[in-house]
Amino acid sequence: MTNPDIRDFTRQELAGALISLGEKGSRADRIFNCLYRKDSQNFAALSGVPEELKSKLASRYSFAPAPLAEKRVSAIDKTVKLLFTFPDGATAESVLIFNKKTVSACISSQSGCACGCVFCATGALGFRRDLKPHEILAQFAACRREAGRAPDSMVFMGMGEPFLNWASVKTSVLILSDNKGCNFPQTRITVSTVGVVPVIRELAESRLEIKLAVSIITADEKRAALTPMDKKYPLREIIKAARYYGERTKRTVFFEYIFFEGLNDSPQDAQKLLALIKGVACKVNLIMYNPVPGEKVYAPGRFEKAREFQNILVAAGIRTHLRREKGSDIAAACGQLAARREAP
């Protein structure tokens, strides 16, 4: 059995591990500094750590090599997509999105996805495995190197359902935000879920300050045909949990609504959405469906109809953002991540 990776521990957990080795727990600060500030890639590179302690750590814990990363750049908007291959062959993708003044990193939490949303390229892959905290953190580090600085914001909106790998996602958030680690503010991290109700409620009751985004997809019974998860967690139960999160944390909930031509883009559909989210402190992100290879049932909504839909929501007092997707020419837009390599 492989020893646990040293980067899969929060600083507090690492301090406990050091104490069990007969060492001072305070040395976790130095090790964290090496791992996340100096980007050390092996035990030997832990500067300022005694050789004896390095040997103890190496005998008890592993230090997986950095995953191989293949890079693609959009010719349209300079969006960068990184395909990571981990030592066991599992793959995942991250996307770096450049806006006028800011940079956002979109990170994966799983290799593949078990949710099976019929319109999503990742869902078509099926599920391979959860990513471990150090594999999530490796994506962030690669995005930071690519951008030349830390991103301004980070979203768990890549491959996988973050709330089905919540233990690893939560650990990675704690390490990212640790002032001895990456020192990345939790308030700049968003986790997007298709609606895993128990974890939404757990997040509401936690001390984490990350933002919650819920993928409504569509506001009526048609949702069940689009995502099998709707059978386990019905939409109204998801909205109830989201309302609880908002009331408990006093934070805005982000709802994501995807436009499909002729399916959910009418003024009547806008009224259904308004009725569904009534009373929830929220902002609605309106997203155009991005076609995926081999999927011929659904067509992208038209921008003019989406604008009309948006105007109805705004008139009802709902904050909205009609998203213009980036990276579609390299299959990096929402719903297009499929961990495919370029043909030689």
pLDDT, tens digit (0-9, with 9 covering 90-100), for 265-290: 999 999 999 999 999 999 999 999 88
Percent of the chain with pLDDT over 90: 84
Lowest mean pLDDT among 200-214, 247-261, 272-286, 330-344: 330-344
Domain ranges of the chain: 6-60, 68-330
Answer yes or no: are the C-beta atoms of 155 and 105 closer than 8 Å.
yes
User: What pLDDT, in 10s, does the model give residues 66-84?
Assistant: 898 999 999 999 999 999 9
The answer, yes or no, to whether residue 343 has pLDDT greater than 70, is no
The answer, yes or no, to whether residue 295 has pLDDT greater than 80, is no
pLDDT value at position 122?
A: 86
Mean pLDDT throughout 12-26? 95
Dist CA 118 CA 105 (whole Å):
25
Just list the catalytic residues. Answer: 93, 334
DSSP characters for 244-294? HHHHHH--PEEEEEEEBTTTS-SHHHHHHHHHHHTT--EEEEEEE----TT
> Yes or no: is domain 6-60 CATH 1.10.150.530?
yes
DSSP characters for 41-52? -SGGG-TTS-HH
Strand intervals (E) in the chain: 68-73, 80-85, 91-98, 103-107, 110-112, 127-130, 153-156, 189-193, 211-217, 253-259, 282-288, 319-323
The answer, yes or no, to whether residue 154 has pLDDT greater than 70, is yes
- The pTM for the full model equals 0.94
Q: Is 80 helix (H, G, I), strand (E, B) or coil?
A: strand
CA-only gyration radius of the chain, Å: 21
The answer, yes or no, to whether residue 1 has pLDDT greater than 70, is no
Please state whether beta strands 68-73 and 80-85 pair in parallel, antiparallel, or not at all (unpaired). antiparallel
- Side-chain-side CA neighbours of residue 68 (13 Å): 9
Question: What's the topology of domain 68-330?
Answer: TIM Barrel (3.20.20)
pLDDT value at position 330?
A: 85
pLDDT value at position 344?
A: 40
